[in-house]
Amino acid sequence: MRYLLLLFFFSFSGYSQIVNYSGVLTDDMGMPIPGVNICIRGTNTCVQSDFDGNYDIKVRVGQELEISYIGMQTRYVKITQGSGRPFGNEEVQPILSNDFAHSIKEENDTLQATGPSGTASYSNNTYYLQDVVNIKKDGNNVYSFVNGHDKTRLYIDLYTEFLAGVPMRERSFQNRFAQGRSIGGELAYRGPETNEIFSWGPQLSTLHISDNATPWYPGGDIVPGIGSRIPVFGANGFFRTSTENKTSFTARLDMHQKGDLKLNLTYRSATGNLPEVKNNDLATTLSYSRNHNNHRFNGTFNFNRFEDKLSNANFVHNKAVFANAVTPPHFDNNAGIVLPDGTPCSFSRLENNPYYLLQNNRDASENTAMSLSVSDWYVNDRLTNDLRLLSQYSDRRTTGGNIPLAAQVAVPDYTDRREKYSLLSIEDAFEYDDQDHTKFGAGLNLKYQQRDLSRQYGLGFDGPESYPGAANDQYTLSKTQDRAEAALNLNLAHNLREIVGYDDELKVSVGGNFAASSTYTGMVYGGLSGNFRWNDLLFRRLSLYGSAIARQYEPIIQNNNLYFNSLAYSLEDLKLMRNHQELFAPNATTTTREKVYTAGISYDNWPLRMNLELYQKKVADMYAPLNTGGTFSWLPSVNYEQKGLEFSVLYDHPRNDRERFSFSHDLHFTAYENKVTGLSRNLDRLPFAGFADVNKNYIEGQPVGAIVGSVYERDAYGNKVIGTDGFPLVAGSPAVIGDPNPDFVLGLSTQANYKDLYVRVGFDWSKGGDLWNGTSQTLDHYGVSQGTAQQRDVTGYVFNGVTQTGQPNTQPVSFYDPSLPVEQNRWVRYGVGGVAEDAIEDATFFRLHNISVGYNGRIPYGKSSLGLVVSVFVNNVFILSKSDTAFANNTLFNSADTSGLDYFNAPLQRMYGLSVAVKF
């Protein structure tokens, strides 16, 4: 069996009852082990060892550490009074006692035994003495041992990662039919000069390229007849392989008694799977920590800067994907982006050229954020006190709008949005432990935050040359919000032992918090909590636990999710969409109230760990975007409840001294149900994500996020009502058409280790739930989908249903009759989004989420060795689902609220990656 060797050394140790336990973890070959979990048993307090095996954890005498690592036997360490040396002045013990000196002396000895030459100061931990590099003696004859870890050391970590994302699950487009429509009983080709938007024209095989050049076809126009074959351009060629490069440098100077200084620099650059999408960010962290007497000081400064050269602030990503997808198969958007007259070169002036949109759009964002935190952790006898000061500042700027000459944009617009946010927080947490059964804690938190938002709007531009600097009409939105808060937290915990047996222990705690705010309409709000954990009940390693929490909280004042603006636009207005409205917390707020109940059972007996938890959550007066006559307000409007269960199993197969192979399995299962229990202001429903005509909603009695859209008209028995022309009729009002919440989600990861090599595989399975695939409906409408190419010649089809008089329908129809206007065919008649209920698909999927192969070990380097971690991995290896293209986890606008909605989302990617870390 392979064991962890625990080499402990103490930067400061167990005076009173609390110690700062630090050390180095190595294997039986003496190699440091990174990523080892060190947890205080029965708590959620855990740390991990760094690349060199170093770790540091605050622990109380009498508690037990659990030290675990995949493939190695878990160790348990009981913290006792002798686990370390005390804080402050250390007790001085004689190197050689007088009694021992006299006992070895004989009368006639010529060699006289000497008395003690001094006293010694050292840790009483055995492993501390195994790395002694020097012994020093001061003027008071006090000897001290210099351990190898006491010397100043410099640690350097280098990390680099490269990712490449290849689009997957791409849509199938037809390549047989040309731009055009039915006219006078014939299928007519209609080129860009006609501004035709449909691809319901004749077969490409009946057309050829002429000798007449046009601005749209410089190599020759398309005309009827047999001749030169017309080339076809695949819409999926629009998407690129995305890339991401990340490099990180970390230097840590361990100065032992003088503290620990650490610097981290990380730079990342990336390109998206759409042309022109680029972003980069820089992150810097500088921290210093030091132990002195009864204190542990820490200071950390963070600086981050992020730039996105083409953000989706005004939905330009979705607009570009749409423009590319509806293009006729024979039109090349990339051949000429601008016509000789300076206007965009698109297959119709009513539609966009996606490359023109991306190259000329001004959607961009940049964010600069800084923070400084200082803390002092103090321990004295039975008391601990944790004092923290935090200061944050961010400056975020977002620009963009609908550019001049974009299709159907009558009034171009531009906005320059800038938000400055600052936060100052002081928090002090105090705890008293009687070292027997009871703990008492109190905390005080003082916080001040301020948000300054300004938006410069420009409307109407004479042309691209004046955009965005010279608008015909300008106006400004400016608003400052601030909030001062004070919160007091009190908690009491008590342990009871041997209630039903010899080893069982019951831990019970209660707490309360009380808060006041400058924006709260009342005087004080707060909450109460209580929880218990009964360990070793009935038999060892079995625990029961539960909790009840009731709390209140105000809405945040910093809300940067502006995608609610899409709710003001129908699907046919996608080209006009912009994020021009803001959500502000009211100047006088009420609180959201939340109650959470949990009950669970856990079994922890290495190598097996299991946990089952049931929970229920009730939320009242949750804030949501409320649309009143086209103006959105952020108000407390929703009550809902959710209940569910979570189950997890971890099996960690060990390896002994003779085995070089080990494996582990980690399984997680979750299932839940939710429903809206009430809406304020007499609302029937409250849309919160999507579009004006298809959206996710809060509806009383329905699941959270119920999808609402257009449906077919039905009689009292649920039969579709068929019109006189033989096609189903559409109901006058929208209805609930889907539930995006899955029945359950199951995740499984497994890892196999051989020496320093490992292979890791992860799966996930989501069962049930619905998604709305509006993209397919729109592609059908334009006549560019593969399905319309296959079905447009269907004739004599009879829709199941009843006539308006209640009789069974017998009227045969043709899906696309050239003798009728194109607006009457099977797909165009229902509009650009079709009938929403037809777009509902089962969201069930099974995914091989990740495969990674790696090496984690050390390689010889001169007289020493280097730590080396190399990983090659693939994410989204494959997906099996009921839908061929849409995917439940691929959200609209990249906003979590829009999960379950697909309308020209960026394609899912299969990610290939390589990462290398070197530790000096």
Question: Pairing state of beta strands 142-147 and 119-121?
Answer: parallel
The angle formed by the CA atoms of residues 475, 477 and 479, to the nearest 5 degrees, is 160
**pLDDT at residue 135, rounded to an integer:** 64
Residue pLDDT, tens place only, 247-268:
999 999 998 778 999 999 999 9
Mean pLDDT of 49-63: 70
Q: What is the mean pLDDT of the chain?
A: 88
Task: Please tell me the distance from the alpha carbon of residue 472 to that of residue 404, in angstroms, as a whole number.
Answer: 12
Q: According to the model, what pLDDT value does residue 100 have?
A: 36
Cα separations in angstroms, 659 against 33, 75, 154: 18, 18, 35
Dist. CA 128–CA 7, nearest whole Å: 7
CB distance 649 to 613 below 8 Å: no
Both tokens of 557, joined, read: 């004042």
d(CA 331, CA 242): 25
Structural element, H or E, at residue 317:
helix 316-325
Q: Tell which residue, 814, 780, 856, has the closest CA to residue 172.
A: 780
Question: Mean of the pLDDT values across residues 38-50?
Answer: 71
Residues 6+ apart with CB under 8 A from 271: 240, 242, 243, 244, 277, 278
Residue 615 backbone dihedrals phi, psi, to 5 degrees:
-145, 160
Indicate the SS3 state at residue 188.
strand
Per-residue pLDDT tens for 689-728? 999 999 999 999 999 999 999 999 999 999 999 999 999 9
Q: Give me the pLDDT at residue 855, please.
A: 95
For residue 246, name the pLDDT band (cuts at 50, 70, 90). very high
Structure-token match 């334009």, residue found: 782
439, 493 contact by CB (below 8 A): yes
The conformation of residue 170, written as its DSSP 8-state character, comes to P
The phi and psi torsions of 586 (rounded to 5 degrees) equal: -60, 150
| Confidence check: pLDDT of 510 > 90 | yes
Average of per-residue pLDDT across 175-201: 96
Cα-Cα-Cα-Cα torsion 314, 320, 325, 329, nearest 10 degrees, comes to 150
Give the DSSP per-residue string, 570-637: -GGGGGG----------SSB--EEEEEEEEEEEEEETTEEEEEEEEEEEEEEEEEEEEETTEEEEEEE
What's the Cα-to-Cα distance from 894 to each of 296, 392, 688, 891, rounded to whole Å?
42, 26, 15, 5
User: Which carries the bigger pLDDT value, residue 619 or residue 12?
Assistant: 619
Mean pLDDT confidence for 507-523 = 95
Q: Is the predicted pLDDT of residue 483 greater than 90, yes or no?
A: yes
